[in-house]
Every structure is written in structure tokens, then in C-alpha cells.
Chains A and B, each alone.
Chain A
Amino acid sequence: MRNMSSHSTTAQFREEVRGWLTANVPAGWRERMTGATTEAFIASQREWMKKLVGAAYATSHWSKEWPGGGRPLAEQMIIAEEMARADAPRLLLYFISLYHAALTLMEWGTEEQKLRHLPAILKGEIWCQGFSEPNAGSDLASLKTRAERHGDYYVVNGQKIWSTLGQYADYCLLLVRTDSTGPKQAGITYLLLDTKSAGIVRRPIRQMTGDEEFAEIFLENVKVPVANRLGDENAGWRIAQTTLTSERGLTILELCERLYCARWRLLCAMGEEDGVVQDDQSRREAVDVFIRIDALRALLNDMMVKLMAGEDIGGSASFVKLMYAAVLREFSALGERVGGLQAQISSGFTLGGGYETGNWAIDFMNSYQWTIAGGSNEVQRNIVAERILGMPREKWFGS
């Protein structure tokens, strides 16, 4: 990408990462993970995590007192880019642990909490996020899961939903309501929940693809020690903002690079790898999608340059997310269409293979994760309209 490999040390680091990935990306992982069992996937994710932690590439975004931490953003970006280019497996199982949990703990955790969890994460402790509820999605602050203080414990009752791989998690970043009297944001507390506590039932959610990447978490009189509270009581909303912005563009960077590197799959789906596509409409639509992938990367590059310069990116993240979601949808929809009947024949999905596996029907279905999760397109559009374009809020909004 532009503007970021001027340093010879940066170029050197890229070579180093590239060399390591060449030697360490498990050969044939795509074949093995296509149609694999969940158990096999979990096992392979644990192995990959171990390797990445060992090489100090899993924690480059951590602060410098931790192993592998303290790398400048430019180098973190190189790792993400090279992972995509080497077609390495995505580290889905540890995503929340390495970003959301770790960065939130580093900013808000007590020394004790940090020492309890950060080394454990390096050894493979799995975290999930317990934010959304059945009736608190886009309007997250209206969450109702209650925590009542009883001496040294909170007693928690309620239900969480859409926890990524929550069924495998050891711990959960949990937002609970501790006060319902004032503004809804002011009564939220942030807890670190041990998922082995009594009173927890976890149920995987079967998605339209047939996979189970999310879980519901039911909490009935679950005791959480006050010592596992992050920050002050009723100060959870602000801490949650750290969690929600912990990725600092790195995830979307990796995903954009993966999409860029996977363009050839669309040519394959059109059955013409030699660069000549006979069908006029397919050819032109593919050109449109490829141009928009380039535009997406240029847009993302602008955002990363600003981030590196320490500038406020304002609502740019919403532009990037909206654009990525749209382009991913177009790419997979075109793949599914030109894939014809073959794309409708069910076949095993590549676990950890990202959003452009070439299994077009599933890739298309999964593209909804980007128009719905992490702030739906509709919420992103409100952010763009109000924060970037300065359009007024509707009267009811935010009340």
C-alpha cells in the first residue's frame, strides 16, 4: 500500500514476516478445513495460535510491556497484509481474546486483572463478547441483563446473543445493567465473566449457512465477584467503546487484502482464467467489482495513513465498513450467479477460510455478517449522515 514502506526497516520487517509465513502456514490447510468437523477446526486454530504467539505476530498491537507487543501501526499492518497475501488461516477463535479482551484489559484493567488474563490469553484462553441482547442490537445501550450487588458478588440475570464462538469461550466480556433510573448509558457496568460459573447455559446459534459461529448465553443467578468488574460501577458504557474500537482498522485491512487476493476466484467461477471472459455482462460486472475493490483499498489506505499520523479519523471507519460490506456482497453475489448450477450444489465450507472461499452460495450468505454485525449498514448510514454530513437527528433518535 501507499506511503508506508519508505523505511528500509519496514521493508525488512515485511521480508521477515513473509519468510516466516512461507515456512509456517500449514500446507494444505484449506483442503483439510473444507468440510472439517468443528473439533478439527478448534484444534487447528489452537495450533495456529500457538505458532503465531511463538513468533510474536499475534500480539503486535499489544502494549510494549507484553510479549510481541509495542510494534508501530505500520508493522501491525504489514502482519495483517502478509497474512492475507500468504493465504494464512484466519485466527477466528482468538479474535475477541487478542483484540477486544486484551486491549480493553490493558486500558481499563487493574494490575491483578491484567496479570490474571493477559498471560492466559497468550496461552490460549478464549474470550467472547456478551454485549448484544435479543432486544438490544443496534440500540445496544438499552440492554437489560441485570446485575445486583450482594456483598462481594454481583448476581446476574439475563440473556446475551450473537457471541462469536461463545460456546468455546473461557471468559466473556459482559455488559450488564446496574442502574435503570437515569439515562440508559449511565447505568451499565462491565464485568469479566468466567463461563464456567454456575447458572450459565450456552446454546450455539445455527446460521443460515448451517454453521454455528455464534452463541446465545443465558444467565440465571450467576455470581460474578466484584473483583471481576472492569472500571467503576455504572462506568461500563465508556469502557465498551474501547472494546468496540479495539481493532483500529486492522481487521478490515486484512479482510480487504484477502478480498483483493481472492479476485481470481471470480475469474475461475466464470470458467475463464486466461483473462478472456466471453460473456459481456459477466465481464463488465467483474470489472465493476474489481474497480470497487481497488477503490475500497484506496479508501482504507487513506484511513490507515490518518491513523498512523495519529489523526482523528472521525466517521471514516463507517465509510470503510459500508464500502467493504457492499463490495463483498457484490463479489459473492456475482460469483454465485456466474457459478450457475455448480454454485447451488452443496459442498463443504472452508472453516477459517474467510469470506471469499469460492464456495459461492455460502460466501454470499456470510456476506450478511458485514451488513448486519458490528453496527448494521443502517446504523453506519446514520453515523455518516449525522457525524460526517452534519444532517440533523430525527426527533425520536437517541432519546
Chain B
Amino acid sequence: MQDLLNLVELQDSARQVLGRARERGAPEADLWGTLIELGWLGVCLPAENGGLGQPFAALATLYQELGRVLAPHDFVGVSICLSALAGVAGDGCVARETIAQTLAGAARPMCTGTLPREIKAVDGRLRGVIRGVLDVGAASHLLVPFEAAGPVLALLKIPHPGLSIVRRPTWDLTRRLFDVVAEDAAVEPRDVVFEGAAATAVMKMTEAQLNLALACDAVGGSEAIFGETLLYMQSRHQFGRPIASFQALKHRCADLATEMSASGALLIAGCDALSMLQGDWESRAACSRLYAGEVYRRVTEEAIQLHGGIGFTWEHQCHRYLKRARLNEVLGGTPEQRKDALAPALFRGAASNAAV
């Protein structure tokens, strides 16, 4: 067991690094190099993979900071992929090598999604589309889930014949969205990293991590734009006083702050549950994302209104957060679809108290 990182210190140093990068107007490639140098990708990886073996809360801290500054999604995509690969890295297979290369900055393997039904393998050739995958434009490998005789996860080197990565322009300008299209893409046995029950288990973990990462993005983004809104309201004077003193506006801010504190608390509980594989950690991760996502959307909507005219302009940041919150909410399905998927587990938990 490694010593636990102090999360407050981690947060401070992350905020400084990202703040400096933002001031410099650093291109994405520079930021990526910085993150590799700082070893952020290894924070939660096991020591045998060259990581620090920290609980998920450490990664969650970084995700939140990246969310604050509207960073691209590639760090999340790569780190989830590494976490999946770490599960098989014991036997000296391709995965272990890929992890080492990634930590050295020489590879960028990314996860794509968790629904194997979207791509099917027939006679070793993949067909299908995974829609709406974030920031895989610079990926060196893709971890592709597909359905053969059972669920399979294959790590495909990019470019891969028959596999295309198609850009889809979005309103959200802070990230890039792609479809991963497989048209008779061949899969060799050595590409396969998980099959059957192992693949299912890794997909569950990947899904939960993605849910928590998007919840972190929402919590970090909400805090950033809400903080900026409060500052604006203090400085903006009308009728001879700061608009932050108007009770009608204060109460709206208080309601947002209440929801933000609750969704932040739920997120921390969800991260802890995942680290300890405690209780229904999968559902808790899904709950965290749903709630934090909803709060993020409301905060970003209110931020524009509370800023007034300036909030409606292109120059101001507000719209960037709003668009990101909107896209977050529909990745991998609408909130309604995700609630439907979550309902049986939540209702089972609720019904279990009825026996008392």
C-alpha cells in the first residue's frame, strides 16, 4: 500500500499547472506533454505498472480540475483505457507494453465506449458504429468493445484497416466528437485483451469510471462557472449597488450552491464506493453522473441569465460551459435512458428496507 496523496495539495498543484497553461494559451499538445511529465496518468495505476496505486479519489481530483478549465477529454479516455489494460498486465502481453509506452508519452490508447452491441464480429471481421466518442482524434490505439460469441474487448492499433474515425462537428467547442466506424475491420487473436466474463467485468468498471469522470467534469465545471458568476455579480452594479445584493438573485445562487454541494458529496461517496468496490458501486457511479450532470446543466443555464447580456456573447465563457454540460448529458444515451437502466437496481435497494 502506497502512502495516500494529500488531495488538497494535488488539487492545488493541478490548478496551478492548468492555470499557467491557460494563461500561456498553450496548445493542446503542450498540455498533454505536461500531464505526461507530471505522471498524472499513473496516479491510480498499480505499482507493478509503474503507477502510484492511489484510490480513485486522486484521479477524480484531477478530472475535476480538468473540468474546471474545460480541458479536452483525452486524459480521461486514456486513463480509463490504462485502468482497463492494467487488469491484464500481469502476463507480459501487449497491454503491459502499451501502458509503459503511454506513461512515457509514446502511445495514446483510448477507450471508446462500453456497449459491445454496437459492433459485431462476423468471421473475425468487425462491423458497426460506436457513436459519440470524445477526443479520440490523436489516439494511437482504441479499446473497442464488440460482440462475437460473447463480449470481447480488443486493443486495435490506429490506423487500422477497415476502422475509420469520423469527426462530427458539435456545438461544444471544448472537445471533439467522433464516430468510430468499423467496416470489415479484421481482428487478430493477439489484439484481443478480454473475452467473456472478463470482458464484461472490465466493461462494467470502464462504464463506472466514465460515469464518475463525467460527474467530476460536471462538478469541476459547475464550480468554475458558478464562482465566476458570483464574482461578476459582486462587480456589476445597478441601481447603485452590486447585483449580488439582490435577494431574488441570492436565493437562486443559494439553491444552486445547495445542489452543487449535494452533488459534490454524492460524487465523493461514489468514488469511494468504486475504490473499495463497495455496495452497488456501479449504480452509485451512474447516480453521480446523472445528478452532477443535471446540476451542471442548471448552473450553466443560470450563469448565462445571471450574467445578463454579456453572458449571451461569444467572447464570454458562459456558453462554452453550457454547451459542454449539454453534450455531457447525452453521451451514451439521454438521461431518461440512463434513468431507465438504473431503475431496477435502485428500486431493488429501496425495496430491501420494506422487510423491517
Contacts and interface: CB of A to CB of B under 8 A. Distances in A.
Interface in B254-287: 254-255, 257-259, 261-263, 265-266, 268-269, 272, 284, 287
Contact of A294 (B230, B247, B266, B344): B266
Interface residues of B, number: 45
A86 B263 CA distance: 28
A373 B27 CA distance: 54
Interface string B334-356: 00100110111011111111101
A389 B254 contact: yes
Given A261-B356, A299-B261, A391-B233, A287 B254 contact: no
A290 B265 contact: no
A50 interface: no
Contact of A263 (B269, B284, B353): B353
B316 interface: no
A388 B265 contact: no
A85 B265 CA distance: 22
Contact of A275 (B233, B234, B347): B347
Contact of B258 (A86, A378, A384): A384
Given A381-B250, A382-B250, A385-B253, A273 B351 contact: yes
Nearest to A273: B351
A175 interface: no
Contacts of A275: 343-344, 347-348, 351
A298 B356 contact: no
B159 interface: no
B253 A294 contact: no
Question: DSSP class of A's interface residues: helix, strand, loop or mixed?
Answer: helix
B95 interface: no
Contact of B269 (A277, A301, A378): A301
B241 interface: yes
B34 interface: no
A257 B353 CA distance: 11
Nearest to B350: A263
Nearest to A263: B350
B90 interface: no
Given A2-B269, A295-B291, A262 B241 contact: no
Nearest 10 pairs of A and B residues by beta carbon:
A263-B350, A385-B250, A298-B265, A381-B254, A384-B254, A264-B354, A295-B266, A275-B347, A295-B262, A299-B265
Interface of A: 2, 85-87, 260-264, 266-268, 273-277, 280, 283-284, 286-288, 290-292, 294-296, 298-299, 301-302, 316, 318-319, 322-323, 326, 378, 380-382, 384-386, 388-395
